[in-house]
């Protein structure tokens, strides 16, 4: 694990909110030389801290009006059933994220749908038919914000 | 703005490979580079394509623990949501805030260096947040799928 200084954190804060910024722009904003900035970005990438890019889209404009978070409990547990469930659930296009968790539920899923009837279709035909599926709890997303976290 | 099939193909390719050049995206979407550039520019102008962000690998920064806190609020106070959101934004270890319609009102994604740090954050910062009536914790074990791609 590498140690970060204030300049590294400033670079991360900039790139996290806008990945389209080139090193030239980041360097100018921070009052640094471009080669020095580039070296730091490379170092953050090589250390695995700065990961891939994520494209931000207006989901509503593209016809996806509903996002639902599902808590899923498996009815049967065992190595085979976990693998079967994970393989099947990741193949569903409407399922954006799958997280294995510890607690009240076994998995946390993020699902997009066009509207509530479309979500019901996904839930009935795709989710409730998954191998090993047990109890399911759905919460419809109203608002969401991402914060810079402990980079600040 | 009217989203065309070409737009959907381009966005699908862009989500799959955000680092690719416009020429490479155009080839995979089966359109000319100038059409691709023009359509992507239009999608940006109309705020369908909102930008890009870099993903931070928190584990590589030494934050080994991630906990999803599902929170129920005391809704008898009309200011409960606003005051809770305002206070949660001030906790540096909180990286995501979502509000829901469902069994839980709010979800916070919380980072910590280890379990001792998590206990400290939970006791001193989370339990100090206003209007909480119940908290359930799901501890992150593994990410099975995380592309946040839309099924266009």
CA distance B110 to B94: 5
User: What is chain B's percent helix, strand, coil content, to nearest 5?
Assistant: 40, 30, 30
Contact B57 A49 (CB under 8 A): yes
- Contacts B147 to A, Cβ<8 Å: 96-97
Is A53 domain-assigned? Answer: no
Which of B98, B138, B146 lies nearest to residue A143, judging by beta carbons? B98
For residue A57, the distance in angstroms to the closest alpha carbon of chain B comes to 5
Write down the pLDDT at residue A145: 92
Write down the pLDDT at residue A148: 84
pLDDT at A112 over 90: yes
A19 in reach of chain B (CB within 8 A): yes
Domain B58-139 has what CATH class?
alpha beta
Q: Are residues A71 and A33 part of one domain?
A: no
CATH number for the domain spanning A126: value is 3.30.70.920
CA proximity to B71, closest of B58, B80, B60, B79: B80
**SS3 (DSSP) at A95:** strand
- Read off the pTM: 0.89
Is A148 domain-assigned? Answer: no
Is A151 domain-assigned? Answer: no
Q: Look at the alpha carbons of A58, A60, A61, A62 in this order and tell me if their dihedral is positive or negative.
A: positive
pLDDT in tens, A2-31: 788 999 999 998 888 787 788 888 999 999
* Chain A residue nearest residue B5, CA to CA: A62
List phi, psi (to 5°) of B56: -100, 130
Contact A54 B136 (CB under 8 A): no
Is A31 domain-assigned? Answer: yes
CA distance A146 to B44: 21
Is A56 domain-assigned? Answer: no
Is A1 domain-assigned? Answer: no
**SS3 (DSSP) at B28:** helix
Q: Are residues A34 and A80 part of one domain?
A: no
- Domain ranges within chain B, ordered by starting residue: 5-45, 58-139
Number of folded domains that form chain A: 2
For residue B23, the distance in angstroms to the closest alpha carbon of chain A comes to 17
3-state secondary structure B109-146: EEEECCHHHHHHHHHHHHCCCCCEEEEEEEEEEEEEEE
pLDDT in tens, A71-111: 999 997 777 788 999 999 999 999 999 999 999 999 999 99
Contact A152 B11 (CB under 8 A): no
Q: Are residues A86 and A29 part of one domain?
A: no
Strand pairing class (A50-57; B132-146) = unpaired
Q: Are residues A133 and A95 part of one domain?
A: yes
CATH number for the domain spanning A29: value is 1.10.10.10
CA distance A94 to A114: 10
For residue B53, give the DSSP letter: E
For residue B102, the distance in angstroms to the closest alpha carbon of chain A comes to 5
Which of B49, B102, B138 lies nearest to residue A108, judging by beta carbons? B138
Which of A56, A86, A103 lies nearest to residue B138, judging by beta carbons? A103
Rounded average pLDDT over B6-24: 92
Is A110 domain-assigned? Answer: yes
Q: Are residues A18 and A75 part of one domain?
A: no
Out of 1.25.40, 1.10.8, 1.20.120, 1.10.10, the CATH code matching B5-45 is 1.10.10
Instruction: Give the structural domain span for A20.
Output: 6-46
Which of B19, B51, B63 lies nearest to residue A18, judging by beta carbons? B51
Contact B119, B65 (CB under 8 A): no
pLDDT in tens, B53-77: 888 999 999 999 999 999 999 989 9
Q: Are residues A77 and A40 part of one domain?
A: no
Contact B28, B36 (CB under 8 A): no
């Amino acid at each position: 694990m590498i140690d970060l200084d204030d300049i590294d954190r400033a670079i991360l804060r900039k790139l996290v909110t806008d990945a389209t910024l080139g090193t030239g722009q980041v360097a100018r904003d921070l009052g640094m030389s471009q080669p020095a900035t580039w070296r730091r970005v490379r170092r953050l990438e090589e250390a695995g801290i700065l990961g891939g890019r994520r494209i931000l889209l207006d989901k509503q404009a593209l016809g996806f009006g509903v996002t639902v978070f599902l808590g899923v409990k498996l009815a049967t547990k065992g190595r085979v059933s976990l693998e079967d469930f994970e393989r099947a659930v990741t193949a569903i296009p409407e399922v954006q994220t799958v997280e294995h968790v510890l607690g009240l539920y076994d998995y946390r899923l993020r699902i997009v749908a066009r509207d509530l009837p479309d979500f019901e279709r996904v839930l009935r035909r795709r989710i409730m038919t998954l191998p090993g599926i047990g109890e399911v709890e759905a919460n419809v997303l109203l608002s969401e914000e991402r914060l810079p976290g402990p980079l600040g | 703005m009217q989203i065309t099939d070409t737009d959907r193909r381009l966005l699908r390719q862009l989500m799959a490979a955000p680092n690719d050049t416009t020429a490479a995206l155009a080839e995979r979407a089966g359109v000319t580079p100038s059409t691709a550039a023009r359509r992507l520019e239009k999608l940006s102008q109309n705020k369908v394509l909102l930008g890009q962000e870099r993903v931070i690998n928190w584990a590589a920064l030494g934050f080994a623990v991630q906990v999803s806190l599902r929170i129920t609020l005391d809704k008898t106070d009309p200011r409960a949501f606003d005051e809770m959101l305002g206070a949660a934004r001030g906790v540096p270890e909180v990286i995501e805030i979502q509000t829901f319609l469902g069994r839980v009102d709010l979800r916070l994604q919380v980072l910590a260096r280890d379990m001792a740090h998590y206990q400290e954050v939970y006791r001193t910062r989370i339990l100090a947040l206003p209007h909480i009536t119940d908290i359930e914790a799901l501890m992150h074990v593994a990410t099975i799928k995380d592309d946040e791609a839309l099924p266009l």
